[in-house]
Chains A and B, each alone.
Chain A
Amino acid sequence: MKVSGKVFKYGDNIDTDVIIPARYLTSADPEHLKEHCMEDIDISFKDRVKPGDIMVAGKNFGCGSSREHAPVAIKASGISLVIADDFARIFYRNSINVGLPILECPEAAQKINDGDEIEADFDTGIITDKTTGESFASKPFPEFIKNIMANGGLVGYTESELKD
């Protein structure tokens, strides 16, 4: 499975309060959450993001609150993948559970620029920056994680496993 899109680049320690401020947590509806995704640090994100686009950031992405609304908001915005140096542990787990693909790759996180067109292959873990021509290797997803992603998250995956 491959994804490709334009890069939205952010810095270190992007916390869940800026991904989706608590004042919007009175609803968990993805359509509501995406209207406010990233607005405290990037007010124009929701208007510029297109389906398939990719978020790239530095260290400790998703730190702070355990709100699952954060990966839900990013996914509902159309983001197909988040690449970072590393992720805060609750966010990491929540992302897999809601079916938001995430890859840890410090080299890619450093070298990819805002606005670059990039492609990532979940089977090989290869990330290609089509704007600069550079490629980066990340650890590919194990089979069960790929299946969770393909089923849109842990619930869909559990349902499909129960059917088999």
Chain B
Amino acid sequence: MPMTMTQKILADHAGLDSVAPGDLIEAKLDYVLGNDVTTPPAIKVFEKLGVKNVFDKDRVLMIQDHFTPNKDIKSAELNKTMRCFAREHEITHYYELGRKEMGIEHVILPDNGIVLPGDLVIGADSHTCTYGALGSFSTGVGSTDLACAMARGVTWFKVPEAIKVNLRGTLKKFVTGKDLILTIIGKIGVDGALYKSLEFDGEGIKALSMDGRLTVCNMAIECGAKNGIFPVDDVTLKYISKTNLERFAKNSYKVYTADEDAEYSQVLDIDLDDIDLTVALPHLPSNTKKASECIDMKIDQVVIGSCTNGRLEDIGTAAAILKGQKVHKDVRCIVIPGSQKVYRQALDNGWLKDLDDAGCVISTPTCGPCLGGHMGVLAKGERCVSTTNRNFVGRMGDPESEVILSGVPVAASSAILGRIGTPDEL
């Protein structure tokens, strides 16, 4: 039976020759992760189950990123629960703030060379689907599933149907992976890929950098997808040769390719040349419009960062646009490098100086404002252009505040203009 990339990875991890959409399987997990919001309830379940040890201390990851550095006493208590557990169980991938391995979970797992092609990963965070960019299968779960997976290193899946996204052509200047995924979500809706895998293919994938692909897969969940996945190519191999030279040299990763006659429930053909700088207006990621059609919308805040757009390329783009410019007098522009490594590299490259000179505030890595946690919560009636992933009611603060999603070039330009704008207006 012909299979898609996702189906092949699931079959292999379940020890089966083949699987078909709808099959219920139990599969071995390469990595299991949680954060400071979702891990504490999982620890409670884990203890209730009466299990003594996690299945593998190198493969259970605990990342503090949502409310860190802790915003209040309650979040400090949450984090303490996770920290104590991590120390007691000698969790390898638990890091304290400020360490060079530290940062937002979906930025550091690929960037630290932990996840590699062919891996199967679940995480108690919906944006766990990010790692599909590397040709792995990854998806989000809740705290109870996390607890059981921490104990056994396996979980059950329903094998998904697939949507193929065929890319051709190349992206215009300043247009990024963010504009591509927003365009796709705008086309198929926030439930357009419900329960399905989103499989990218076509010669157009060459036009997307690894950071761009990570952004695309990160937001697969925003159209309801179980996962997003890219084929492994030279871009992937070059990336992993940098992030994990040891495993790269040893060939200890697995490249899966979809069968030519694999079945897809839908095929989307997208010409990258047709994609424009795109924004998603309140209050759904599918409410997309060309940025150039929204230039009369005034803004109060800009956020550049998150697991969607807090990577090195993103901070570099922000710095290139804001260098020598000034943030508009009525706007605060919050830049959040996604990891300590990104922060340091941006510092060494002089980018943080450029951003500081422009009047941006630069934050330590955190999810912070993306989920209305801290470091940039909005008041009633305020509007923010943000490179994050969700613009639901109340997502970044007051239920009457507004979030407009965009890529970095639109966000940085908007910070300067005090309204939605594009780099060619500068």
Q: Contact residues of A with B, CB < 8 Å?
A: 13, 15, 17-18, 21-23, 25-28, 40-41, 59-60, 63-69, 86, 88-90, 93-94, 97-98, 153-155, 158-159
Contact yes or no, B140 A90, CB < 8 A: yes
Q: How many angstroms from the CA of A41 to the CA of B399 in the assembled complex?
A: 8
Which chain A residues border B412 with CB–CB below 8 Å? none
Inter-subunit contact A86/B142 (CB<8 Å): no
Stretch of B36-44, B108-116, B239-247, B296-304 with 4 or more beta carbons under 8 angstroms from chain A? B36-44
* CB-contacts of B28-54 with A (<8 A): 37-38, 40-41, 44-45, 48-49
For the side of the interface on B, what is the size category?
Answer: 35 or more
Within 8 Å CB of A64, what residues of B?
A: 126, 390, 392
Query: Is B224 at the interface (CB under 8 A from chain A)?
Result: yes
Report the Cα distance A26→B67, complex, angstroms: 8
Establish whether residues A60 and B190, one from each chain, have CB atoms under 8 Å apart when the complex forms.
Answer: yes
Bound complex: CA A155 to CA B45 (Å): 7
* CB–CB A158/B49 < 8 A: yes
- Taking a contact as CB atoms under 8 Å apart, the answer to whether A68 and B75 are in contact is no
Interchain CA distance A15-B75 in the complex, whole Å: 23
Nearest A residue to B377 via CB reads A23
Chain B residues closer than 8 Å to A97, beta-carbon distance: 142, 144-145
Contact of B141 among A17, A22, A41, A90 (CB under 8 A): A90
CB neighbours (8 Å) of A63 from chain B are 190-191, 224
List residues of chain B with CB under 8 Å of any chain A CB: 37-38, 40-41, 44-45, 48-49, 66-67, 72, 74-75, 78, 124-126, 128, 140-145, 147-148, 190-191, 194-195, 224, 226, 284, 371-373, 377, 390, 392-395, 399
Chain B residues positioned under 8 Å from A41 (CB to CB):
393, 399
**How far is B128's CA from A3's CA once the two chains are assembled, in angstroms?**
35
Q: Which of B40, B67, B191, B395 has the most CB of A within 10 A?
A: B191
Nearest residue (CB) in B for A92 is B195
The answer to whether A68 touches B142, judged by C-beta atoms less than 8 angstroms apart, is yes
Tell me which of B78, B194, B195, B395 contacts A26 (CB under 8 A).
B78
The reply to whether B141 and A40 contact each other, CB–CB distance below 8 Å, is: no
Choose from A18, A67, A88 the contact partner of B191 (Cβ within 8 Å).
Answer: A88
CB distance from B194 to the nearest CB of A (A): 6
A59, A60, A63, A94, most chain B CB atoms within 10 A: A63
Known: A18-B393, A41-B399. 11 other contacts (CB 8 A): A17-B392, A17-B393, A22-B372, A65-B126, A68-B124, A86-B194, A90-B142, A94-B141, A98-B142, A153-B144, A158-B148
Q: Closest 4 CB pairs between A and B?
A: A26-B74, A68-B142, A94-B142, A60-B191
Tell me whether B45 and A13 are in contact (CB under 8 A): no
The answer on a CB contact under 8 Å between B194 and A13 is no
A155 touches B144 (CB 8 A): yes
Please, could you name 23 A-B residue pairs with CB atoms under 8 Å apart, sorted by A? Answer: A13-B190, A17-B390, A17-B394, A17-B395, A22-B37, A22-B372, A22-B395, A26-B78, A27-B78, A60-B194, A63-B190, A63-B191, A65-B126, A65-B390, A66-B128, A66-B141, A68-B124, A68-B144, A86-B194, A89-B194, A93-B142, A93-B145, A94-B142
Are A21 and B394 closer than 8 Å at their CB atoms?
yes
Q: Verify A66–B142 contact, CB threshold 8 A.
A: yes
Contact B394 A40 (CB under 8 A): yes
CB distance from B152 to the nearest CB of A (A): 11
Report Cα–Cα, A69/B42, bound state, in Å. 11
Closest residue of B by beta carbon distance from A68:
B142
Expressed in whole angstroms, the Cα–Cα distance for A94 and B41 within the complex equals 13
Are A90 and B126 in contact, with the CB atoms below 8 A?
Answer: yes
Q: Is the CB of B194 within 8 A of A67?
A: no
Contact indicator A13/B284 (Cβ below 8 Å)? yes
Q: In the bound complex, what is the Cα–Cα distance between A28 and B34 (angstroms)?
A: 15
Say how far A58's CB is from chain B's closest CB, in angstroms.
Answer: 10
* Closest Cβ–Cβ distance, residue B397 to chain A (whole Å): 8
Cα-based distance from A28 to B37 in the complex (angstroms): 9
Whether B38 and A18, one on each chain, are in contact in the complex, defined by CB atoms closer than 8 angstroms, is no
State whether B371 touches A94 (Cβ < 8 A).
no
Residues of A within 8 A of B395 (CB): 17, 22
Complex: A159 Cα to B148 Cα, angstroms: 12
Q: Is the CB of B191 within 8 A of A86?
A: yes
> Chain B residues near A65 (CB, 8 Å)?
125-126, 371, 390
Point out the residues of chain A lying under 8 angstroms from B147, CB to CB: 155
CB distance A88 to B224 under 8 Å?
yes
Set of chain A residues within 8 Å of B140, measured between Cβ atoms: 66, 90
List chain A residues, Cβ under 8 A from B195.
89
Q: Are A13 and B191 in contact (CB under 8 A)?
A: yes
Chain A's nearest CB lies how many Å from the CB of B187? 16
Cross-chain contact B226 with A89 (CB below 8 angstroms):
yes
Q: Pick the most buried of A28, A40, A89, A153: most chain B CB atoms within 10 A of its CB.
A: A89
Residues of chain A within 8 A (CB-CB) of B45 are 155
B128: A residues at CB distance < 8 A:
66
